[in-house]
Structure 1
Amino acid sequence: MDFKRSDFPEDFLFGAATAAYQIEGSAHGAAGSCHWDSFARVPGNVIGAEDGRRACDHYLYWAADLDLLRAAGMDAYRFSTSWARVLPEGRGPVNTEALDFYDRLVDGMLERGLRPFHTIYHWEMPSALADLGGWTNPDVHNWFADFTQVITRRIGDRVHATATINEPWCVAYLSHFLGHHAPGLRDIRATARAMHHVLKAHGAAMEVLRAEGQENCGIVLNFEADEPAEDGPDHAAAAARQDAIMNRWFLEGITRGSYPEEALEGLEPHLPAGWQDDMAAISRPIDWLGVNYYTRGLMLAAPDTAWPAMEPVPGPLPRTQMGWEVYPKGLEDTLTRLSRDYIGALPVYVTENGMAWDDRVTGGAVHDPARISFISEHVRATRNAIDTGTNVRGFFYWSLLDNYEWAFGYEKRFGIVHVDYETMTRTPKTSYHEFAKALGQ
């Protein structure tokens, strides 16, 4: 790879990331069901109607998976905890088997010299709460605060950093407006409420974390480098609307206590009454910001369609197995924009960046030169942002393992470690070995 550890500040952290539902195997350990279990059972929602019941069996193989991180020379591991595992009904009785598992997992990281980066929620809403409307229910922030307290009181004394929620745009907009993720709605009223409630839940969780003495707390947002696909004011306005919905809504809610006008023009009529009164809690200070970045968005105006009256179009550059254009400059631009316009010197971590490819085991090995190039280019983009003054403190590759890729089932492989879903055999890919070499220099 075209970088080495010594290119970065001495305290810069390298790691890899995963999510509970995507790797653990929800059939283990008395976990409750979540809305992804039911979403996957509707024909057409998930490729092969696959779900996370087995996933990568990380619940059983966790020690070996942590050994892979240590052997690669990683400094940290970003993991998430399953709400439906810890509280099978979403509220009420706690599953002690789940807390014991996360105890073992965190202790295992520390034993291997890995700093635990904990994400409280990574998309698995308990089915019992989904029955009550999930993220559209006005009480969801209280439910989430209770979960935050339960899990923090068990493992919060040993984690290095805590993020409240992963990618609220996916939790709310992708899942309630576009319908691509659970619960699979296409309803603007539900979308507006989910987009507000997810941030209200973040604010409530931050209050709990502070009360529990947690000091290194933030949130993980996903960003897209949005640009007009063609010249002209209409296309520029379409790109600005996409930027407002995907990037600025959550960012400005947290950092400024307000929502962008370009998004409010479509969503405000559907927000809950008195939403403005929640903005002070939503914008409580955070200690760091997580940035997930994969691609850019090229937008055209679509004036004959309903709001937001825009249409994404493919970019001209090479694309990953997901169809996402490979655009490393977008990561550099996103990081520098955040520092310049929003957060100043607040610490930033690249909490996810990666690519899916149609990886195959050949002769006992997996050669993935496209991923090696992808990682190198995005790590260099991160270095460029540091050089221009952004306080980037770490880079986490997504993902450690091939895993359950949500609506794409087990078809898309993001890992630097290949997983045979029949035998659960882990095979480190060439990118894993090259990453390890770079971290050793």
Structure 2
Amino acid sequence: MERSGVSRRALGALALGSAAMGLSGCEGGHETDLKPRSRQFPKDFVWGVATAAFQTEGSQAVDGRGPSVWDLFEKVPGHVKDKSDATVATDSYRRFQEDVDLIAGAGLSAYRFSISWSRVMPTGGRTVNAAGLDHYSKLVDALLAKGISPYATLFHWDLPQGLQDKGGWANRDTALRFADYAHAVVDKLGDRLKNYIILNEAAVHAVFGHVLGEHAPGLKDINLLGKVVHHMNLGQGLAMRALRAAQGDLQVGTTMALQPCRPAGGLFWNRLAADGLDALWNKAWLDPLFKGTYPKDMDDLLKGVIQDGDLKTVRQPVDFLGVNYYAPAYVRLDLSSPSKIAPANPPRGAELDAFGRHIDPSGLFETLDRVRREYGAPRMMVTENGCSDPFGSGPAILDDQFRITYLRRHLEAVLAAREAGCDVRGYFEWTLIDNFEWDLGYTSKFGLVAMDRKTGVRTPKASYSWFKALAGNGLLPA
């Protein structure tokens, strides 16, 4: 398959190739549904939407912002499917008040956004750009004025290019600079910004950015993987310490792209491959955080990387774990591959989303319940879940009943997980407005709101009204 068949959400392709790309919507047979006993969410359940700075802000050269790895990556021919870029995106740097009004108009209680590291520290060094922080200060104030709780992600893949020039996450020093950045953010915003998500989907950034070359920084060197994984975990621990040292009343968590890893055809020899993928994709992030260890499968990759005291730093208490879920991964044993792992197709007849991934709400239940059983039952939030229109350059589908069906079915899985004892406190739909979807450009549309790229006009879809009603009374329609 061509490179564009894989994206940051085509997780079934993880290690070693592209996922099959389908052109369906998000609706089909419902063989993987769960039926909770109750359809009522608690009154204090957090309802929100999630976004990322690079995908929405635009204004890349405004107010002292420095370049990020994605600024360079998007300009290389062939890297973005529709040859577009994020120089405007949804123009949310300038139009953030309109975004806030849309969130408030939907009656949502929370907004998950990310802070651009290179706006705050343009080269990644210790010099702080006051103008960049002022923007986020205004955004936080605008949210609080509408009664919306801000949840800020500190790193959503847009590493300052100045740090990448020095080795990026493969360089241990980047973990130290990340702690400096966290301190700068909390020093300016900590009196009002109380909810912090440290890393977004570190597994995606590590693998797609450093092994497959599908994402920025566009590297294809498996020898970097152990360093990148550990230094991101280390940076997370250092950042958590910096935040808590500066302010005692914060809610600090992190967000992981978790997925069941399933052997193709249920065959026992493919279980070896599935276990290998699980170690890299799930356990290499969960185990250090909650247990202070790495899975044995990571030993060779991490040889000579971990220093004394690192695992104590990495293992930090979290107030919540963010879970991003889209689909399970199917893998098979491939003896011709250096890793012995290869992607496999979903089961025959499975309903597929626009990425060719299995639409399986039971996988969300499986993921949440696994965290409960194996990692001490932490408080959790679903920090991303959603589906795209079929890929294409045309206008968004405004009567998006397929999205409503998708969200309803996955929220049934959340209710079922809560009934099984999972402490799930919130759900953030991905995303607010159709935005720049990384290597897919604008061909993928996940928003509750459409945007005319020529005029910037935002138009709520049917799913926006549906989500508003749900957030209003917490009762999931049948």
Q: 2:43, 2:182 → 1: CA distance?
A: 32
The one-letter code matched in structure 1 to 2:220 is: R
In structure 2, C-alpha distance between the alignment counterparts of 1:6 and 1:154, rounded to whole Å:
41
Q: 1:245 aligns to what?
A: 280
Counterpart in the other structure of 1:329 = 362
Check whether the contact 1:294–1:354 (CA below 8 A) recurs between aligned residues.
Answer: yes
What does residue range 96-245 of structure 1 map to in structure 2 within 5 Å?
96-214=130-248, 215-245=250-280
Residue 392 of structure 2 is aligned to residue 357 of structure 1 = no
- 1:45 has 2:79 as partner: yes
Matched, 1:14 2:47: yes
Contact persistence 2:144–2:150 (CA under 8 A)? yes
Q: Does 1:368 align with 2:406?
A: no
**Residues 396, 445 of structure 2: 8 Å contact kept:** no
CA distance in 1, matches of 2:198, 2:344: 30
TM-score (norm 1): 0.94
Are the equivalent residues in 1 in contact too, given 2:393–2:443 (CA < 8 A)?
no
Q: CA RMSD in A?
A: 2.1
Provide the aligned length of Structure 1 versus Structure 2. Answer: 435
- Aligned-partner SS, 2:141: helix
Q: What's the CA shift for 1:160? A: 3.4
Q: Give deviations 1:176-231, integer Å, cap 9, x for gaps.
A: 11221111111112111101100000011011011112431011111112111123
> Secondary structure at 1:49's aligned position in 2?
coil
Partner amino acid for 2:437?
A: E
In structure 2, distance between residues paired with 1:364 and 1:99: 33
Quote how far apart the aligned CAs of 1:312 are.
Answer: 3.1
Provide structure 1 residue ranges, at least 5 long, that are not aligned to the other structure: none
Query: For 1:165 and 1:359, how far apart are their aligned partners in 2?
Result: 28
For 1:27, the equivalent position in structure 2 comes to 61
Q: Report the secondary structure of 2:344's partner residue.
A: strand
Q: In 1, Cα distance between the equivalents of 2:347 and 2:402?
A: 18
- Which has the bigger relative contact order, CA under 8 A and spacing at least 6? 2
Per the TM alignment, residue 365 of structure 1 is displaced from its structure 2 partner at its CA by 7.4
Q: Name segments (4+ residues, structure 1) moved above 4 Å.
A: 359-365
**What's the secondary structure of 1:165's corresponding residue?**
strand
How much identity, in percent, do the aligned residues show? Answer: 37
Are 2:446 and 1:411 aligned?
Answer: no
2:429 to 378, 397, 408: 397
Amino acid at match of 2:237: G
334-343 vs 210-219, which moves further: 210-219
> Partners in 2 of 1:128 and 1:49 — Cα distance?
25
Once the two structures are TM-superposed, the CA of residue 87 in structure 1 deviates from its matched residue by 1.1
Distance 1:154 1:24 in 2: 20
Say which SS state the counterpart of residue 95 (structure 2) adopts. Answer: helix
Aligned with 2:331: secondary structure? strand
Mapped to 2, the partners of 1:238 and 1:145 lie a distance apart of 35
Q: For residue 434 of structure 1, what is the amino acid of its counterpart?
A: W
Equivalent residues in 2 for 1:54-93, closer than 5 Å: 54-93=88-127
| TM-score after normalising by structure 2 | 0.87
SS state of the match for residue 158, structure 1? coil
Distance in 2, matches of 1:301 and 1:70, equals 48
State the 1:28 CA deviation.
Answer: 3.2
- Displacement of 1:250 after TM fit? 0.2
Q: Specify the SS of the correspondent of 1:343.
A: coil
Preserved CA contact (<8 Å) 1:35 1:126: yes
Task: Name whichever of 47-56 and 375-384 sits farther off.
Answer: 47-56
Show the counterpart of 2:20. Answer: none
